[in-house]
Amino acid sequence: MVKIKYLFCFVLFTIYFSCKDSKASSTLSEDKSEILQTIIDSIYKHNRDTVGLLVHVESPKHGISWSGAAGYSDKDKSKLQPDHPFLIASNTKTYVSAAILRLVEQSKLDLNQAIDTLIFDKTKALLRNDGYKTDLIKVVNLLNHTSGIHDYAVTDDYMNMLSKNPSHRFTRDEQIKLATALGEPLGDPGEVFSYADVNYLLLTEIIERITQKPFYTSIRELLKYKTLGLDRTWFSSLEDYPEETLPLAYQYSTSEGLDSYVLDHSADLYGGGGIASTSRDLAVFFYSLFNHKIFDEPSTLDLIYTKADPVQPMEGEYFLGLTPIEVNGVKGFGHNGYWGTVVSYFPDLDTSIAIAVLERDHRVIRQNLNEAIVQVLKKYNKTQ
């Protein structure tokens, strides 16, 4: 049903765009924001259960740095603004991965280094007592989810905890302990791929052990937030709320009985998720990452494409905090987030697109938006 609604919107959009072709190219350039806003307005009009949609397109090649919104910031129908921030959830993993690679670039860490001497002693003891071979698990195994560590976040027990006591304030230690309590080791390092938040909690421990600073402070410094102008990117409830920033938009998972204002953000905070951002900051970070504005050496970026290659075959592909994607025949790299978020970079278009669908139950709309926007940019590519 969603696809049918989307196709109807897309036909309308195509007619609209075709009309623009009759205008001069300078006028077409002026109309880019209008075209992009028309896309999200049309899709929202036929999918109002999404509550609200947020989009940013960062495409200097096409003269675009645009944020748009449609719908509401909450179910009480407060108008959604383009610069409303939101929880990016697992998109955070790309930030953590990039921070780790910065430490590798600085010769403070090696991807093939065992985590045994990198994680905190209490964590090492906990994992070893549960049968994990921390002297064999490498940093790269955490980054591409081949550590063999069973995750807490995927269990029914954890979801029941969230439902029964959404205001509970979790610690990172508590969640790592839950990983050992709620499941058995999945296999030896490198044997199996299993997406797990706990891997990234361990990576933030490693960041802290190496930098001797809170991981969120180190990530901010390592990824050059200040230089990049990422003024509205922060770890929610761990860092100060940025000045002159709108309140966080509400995000919902109605089918699971969760919303981001009731659920304590510690449920997804310590590296597996946790960052709050505007769509603009999220897209700019991704654009900067792939355009060599974060790493000092261009060759460091090549490491992020280190693919998970477990002994047991896996579905799809996963790199280091990153997945390959393809939209309308255009290849890219990105990551999804639990709360209906996605951010992608498309090299052939030299464009990053960040999207938030405020109702997780309708997160398929992320794909619809990506398809429509990529189609626009493909058309621009042909005219340049």
Query: How many residues does the structure list for the chain?
Result: 384
pLDDT at 30: 55
pLDDT at 8: 45
pLDDT digits (tens, 9 = 90+) for 49-87: 999 999 999 999 999 999 999 999 999 999 999 999 999
Question: ∠ at Cα 84 (79, 89), nearest 5°?
Answer: 125
pLDDT digits (tens, 9 = 90+) for 277-330: 999 999 999 999 999 999 999 999 999 999 999 999 999 999 999 999 999 999
Rounded Cα distance, 281 and 228, in Å? 9
Amino acid at residue number 113: Q
CB 151 within 8 A of CB 201: no
Torsion of CA 374, 356, 217, 168, to 10 degrees: -150
CB 13 within 8 A of CB 19: no
Q: Is the pLDDT of residue 3 over 90?
A: no
300: number of Cβ within 10 Å: 17
Domain 88-324 of CATH type 3.10.105.10: no
Q: Is the pLDDT of residue 382 over 80?
A: no
Mean pLDDT of 105-121: 98
Average pLDDT, the chain: 93
**Which H or E run includes 140?**
helix 139-143
Higher pLDDT, 380 or 97: 97
Question: ∠ at Cα 279 (274, 283), nearest 5°?
Answer: 95
Token pair recorded at residue 34: 């209008």
Percent of the chain exceeding pLDDT 90 equals 90
Q: Is the pLDDT of residue 364 over 50?
A: yes
pLDDT at 31: 83
pLDDT at 384: 65
pLDDT digits (tens, 9 = 90+) for 6-33: 454 554 455 344 444 434 333 444 589 9
The phi, psi pair for 90, rounded to 5°, reads -70, -10
CB 341 within 8 A of CB 86: yes
pLDDT at 119: 98
Token pair recorded at residue 236: 């929610």
Of 274, 287, 244, 223, residue with least CA distance to 66? 287
Q: Is the pLDDT of residue 237 over 80?
A: yes
H helices of 223-364, where?
225-228, 279-290, 298-303
pLDDT at 76: 95
Amino acid at residue number 310: P
